[in-house]
Structure 1
Amino acid sequence: MLHSEEERASMEHVLGSGFHEHQLLEAAGNWPVSGPIAWWGGPLDVEQLAARSVGLVCSALNALSTPPLRAASATADIAAAFASSAHLRIAGENTQGFAPHSGFYRTADGWIRTHANYPHHESALKSALGMSSGSGIADALAGLPAHDAQERIVAAGGVAARVRSRQQWLSSAEGKVAGNGHWAQFSMRPLASALFWKYDPRAGLPLQGLKVLDLTRVIAGPTATRTLAAFGAQVLRVDGPRLPELPWQHVDTGFGKRSTVLDAKSAAGRAKIHELLQDADVVILGYRPGALAAAGFGRDELAQRYPRLMIAELGAWGFSGPWAQRRGFDSVVQAATGIAQAYSGDGRTPGALPVQALDHATGYGLAAAIIALAGARSAQGRTGAVRFSLARTAHALFALDEGREYPADFGSGVQLRQMDSSYGMLEYVPPPFSFAGHAMDYPHPPAPYGESKPAWS
């Protein structure tokens, strides 16, 4: 389960009526997700993780109002949403997926997983191995112990993790810390001001008017903000000028948002971000822990300067311990935490989850937590912050103990929709939600990357 009984009780104590996670575990009448909870198969119950994280969004939304709002989901839609990038077509073209040098490599004493989708990480990987091209990467890694290769790549600014068993991860210093605490780690504080967003039952969508500043990248954080945008939030994503997002990834996670570029390392960029924060309801920090704090955008600094602001943080490995500031992605976390070994079909070659489930489940959990915080702020006059990490989501996945079923037949398959955009015609997976009995869609296509005005509309 995502939480033990003690953890659920603690969550309810913190957020009161704003966040009833126990609804996910009650009888079918209160379960906001319909359909069989089996479709991928495999040694870990990824379907339960997916269904519960999406169901948690529905439960948090439904708790905003009495009587409850009618947000719901279906497992066929959840399955499609967790593989959204694989289904996306941009002007008829498929998305790229993993880059050539992202993957498993055999080492002198095991395996390592690299991540080189971004050009700067590919460059760091090559630099760490002393080569100018990628043609010799496999040979170079085959001559190194897995731990040495991992540390060499990380020291060069790259991203990699050696493949470990679950027990090896849990017995390591970084593994012990990463598994600590609740899946969603809340901290609350009183709110003096009465001027903040509140749920309006007259609004067309439940989060209409909620201003969300999105300082995230890749999949998990952008999935959270894409979800908030689907329910009416005004989301402005801010990227830096030096490390642009991958174009197809921006499209996949950019529905319903606007996009701007600001340099947090410059005085002008920092001033503009602070100007946006003055009126924001939520900020989501998705860079490595400490990276934004160095520019003055750490959690404690923001809470002090903007008392009514809700703050969400996302990291790969947690927020303390030896790996807290290490770069990480879903696939690399899978390798380190024992998932890759669990999916080793032949007992030797590592494997992977059927989808980037750590990213997506964390993203939906993050969206649910933000909605719950907004509800607590409206009902109780308190605000707060929440933290998630991919490694902690991996821990939650291993903790799921429901009986496994054979994969279910979903029949007609994925139902894609079409929307015209500045990138051409998009074929895409819609949000995995219905609201008030109607299937949902995103309010508008992804904005052209970086071209939106850095202001609230």
Structure 2
Amino acid sequence: MDPHPRRWWRCPLDVETLARGALERVRDAARNVAAARGAAVRIETSSALIAGSFASYEHLEVDGVAPVAWAELSGFFAAADGWVRLHGNYPHHAAVLERSYGIKDRDSLTTVLAGLDAAEIEQEVTAAGGIAAAVRERTAWEAEPQHAARSGHAWAEVHERGERRVLPGAPAGEAAEAPGLLAGVRVLDLTRVIAGPTATQLLACLGADVLRIDPPHRPEILAQHLSTGMGKRSAVADLRDAAQRDRVRGLAAEADVIVSGYRPGALDHHGLGVGDLEDLAPQAVIAVLSAWGDTGPWGSRSGFDSIVQAASGIAVACGSAERPGALPVQALDHASGHLIAAHVLSALADARARTLRVSLLGAAENLLALPAPPAQEPAALPVPRIQVRAGERPLLAVPPPLLVDGAMIGRDVGSYGASGLDSPPRKGTRDCCAIR
């Protein structure tokens, strides 16, 4: 990795060290996979690739147009006694705010919330199925039961379950190419938003056969899907339907890697909880992502990077006396996604079946524990982007932050929303890998 520059972002917290640490683990794990498969390749990363990839959504262009990062009902709102952060990017979460407060736009919501306490807003919105967090000072978060419940837990917790098959040697003619590094590895992607899809995108761009499953009634935000969809196939499956649920369970049973990013407990009644997956796929590497960890009073609560920042003290640390602030990038998401990828790669290289649990709160705690970064002006880095396609759509996107023999590893995006689960992977490049 290039040693300089030391700082890329303007922030009182050392986001660069968090980001570099996660990518160093990915790089080293990918090298171990290459060694296990007898692939003589050079695997590196760079500051520009890391910085660009941690803001991949912001640098995405679809048909020449950049997506809007935040919806109208997302962001900080002043409460009667402080601040609250809301997440209304998904329509069903925005609908909770509209129903709860009888509002239709940001201005009317601002007016209503100004008369309520932040803790009251957090409780009301969360109870109604929405996403909110009161903005807390660090000392206030440390007094919360959820902090106490998670204080002894690592960012990534690994449970060894036994041996799995050794990776075969790299296919002839592909050993020196990124698509050959994980050739033959099947990944079932049950993730959403940023962190989980970031992990599975990196695996796909290293050659794994990644199939992402989404529910028909809660579609992913399209630009968000495109920004983390390189190299994947995609399908829709309604787990409320017994036949489709059984098909997904069958896919899990055949997978080498399963990555799940739904809130703890959400998939249990579909037979796809952590214990179910361990029983279905004793050979698989299983990675599970949560916002708050899977224990404590918030263990089954949904959350996002921005919401964890608000609750844990990061928003106050990044703000001013007048209002809270945010990290320069969604660093908790991206660092957690790459940490998952690193552990998955390590398990494959070691021929071990492991269960991995990672939380965004763990990333926040690691970031807050780092010493303050040096007081120097951040360097302006170039943004490495590549031209790929999603079906007929041209995309300008930041690829996953690894270089294989000096080349970037981006791939075309598989189609989104295809129906059916039974078609085999398309051979060759994945320019439009529909499952229809």
TM over 0.5: yes
Correspondence list, 1:373-384, <5 A:
373-377=347-351, 382-384=352-354
Structure 2 residue aligned with 1:318: 293
Helix, strand or coil for the counterpart of 1:106? strand
Preserved CA contact (<8 Å) 1:114 1:159: yes
1:390-434 residue CA offsets vs partner (Å, 9 max, x unmatched): 0110001111226425244346x2232212332522111122211
| Distance in 2 separating the partners of 1:228 and 1:319 | 25
Structure 2 residue aligned with 1:309: 284
Helix, strand or coil for the counterpart of 1:214? strand
Q: 1:177 to 1:423 in 2, by over 3 A?
A: farther
| Distance in 2 separating the partners of 1:402 and 1:93 | 36
Preserved CA contact (<8 Å) 1:239 1:261: yes
Letter in 2 for 1:130: G
Helix, strand or coil for the counterpart of 2:57? helix
1:99 aligns with 2:71: yes
Correspondence list, 1:70-109, <5 A:
70-109=42-81
Correspondence list, 1:6-21, <5 A:
none
- How much is the aligned-residue C-alpha RMSD, in angstroms? 1.9
1:114-134 residue CA offsets vs partner (Å, 9 max, x unmatched): 000000000011222233555
| Distance in 2 separating the partners of 1:167 and 1:376 | 41
1:366 aligns with 2:332: no
Preserved CA contact (<8 Å) 1:33 1:72: no
Residue 292 of structure 1, aligned match among 250, 267, 274? 267
| Distance in 2 separating the partners of 1:216 and 1:122 | 21
1:427 aligns with 2:396: yes
- Return the offset for 1:440: 1.7
1:282 aligns with 2:257: yes
Correspondence list, 1:326-405, <5 A:
326-345=301-320, 347-377=321-351, 382-401=352-371, 403-405=373-375
| Distance in 2 separating the partners of 1:237 and 1:452 | 12
Residue 260 of structure 1, aligned match among 232, 235, 250? 235
Q: 1:281 to 1:197 in 2, by over 3 A?
A: farther
Structure 2 residue aligned with 1:138: 110
**Runs of at least 5 residues in structure 1 that lack an aligned partner in the other structure:** 1-31
| Distance in 2 separating the partners of 1:33 and 1:365 | 20
Structure 1 residue aligned with 2:429: none
Residue 226 of structure 2, aligned match among 210, 228, 251? 251
The 10-residue stretch of structure 1 (293-302 or 32-41) with the greater mean CA deviation from structure 2: 32-41
Residue 442 of structure 1, aligned match among 378, 403, 410? 410
Helix, strand or coil for the counterpart of 1:136? helix
1:56 aligns with 2:28: no
| Distance in 2 separating the partners of 1:33 and 1:245 | 35
Q: 1:99 to 1:38 in 2, by over 3 A?
A: same
Preserved CA contact (<8 Å) 2:237 2:420: no
| Distance in 2 separating the partners of 1:151 and 1:455 | 45
1:237 aligns with 2:209: no
| Distance in 2 separating the partners of 1:254 and 1:451 | 17
Helix, strand or coil for the counterpart of 1:52? helix
**Runs of at least 5 residues in structure 2 that lack an aligned partner in the other structure:** 426-436
Q: 1:451 to 1:425 in 2, by over 3 A?
A: farther
Preserved CA contact (<8 Å) 2:44 2:406: no
Q: 1:230 to 1:405 in 2, by over 3 A?
A: farther
- Return the offset for 1:136: 1.4
Correspondence list, 1:42-191, <5 A:
42-64=11-33, 65=35, 70-131=42-103, 134-191=106-163
1:245-273 residue CA offsets vs partner (Å, 9 max, x unmatched): 00111111111101100011210111110
Residue 416 of structure 1, aligned match among 381, 385, 394? 385
| Distance in 2 separating the partners of 1:199 and 1:177 | 44
| Distance in 2 separating the partners of 1:342 and 1:33 | 29
- Return the offset for 1:171: 1.7
- Number of equivalenced pairs: 417
Structure 2 residue aligned with 1:36: 5
Helix, strand or coil for the counterpart of 2:418? coil
Preserved CA contact (<8 Å) 2:232 2:414: yes
The 10-residue stretch of structure 1 (272-281 or 288-297) with the greater mean CA deviation from structure 2: 272-281
1:346-379 residue CA offsets vs partner (Å, 9 max, x unmatched): x2300000011100000000100111111222xx
The 10-residue stretch of structure 1 (258-267 or 274-283) with the greater mean CA deviation from structure 2: 274-283
- Return the offset for 1:164: 0.2
| Distance in 1 separating the partners of 2:15 and 2:83 | 23
| Distance in 2 separating the partners of 1:134 and 1:443 | 38
| Distance in 1 separating the partners of 2:212 and 2:2 | 29
| Distance in 2 separating the partners of 1:389 and 1:321 | 13
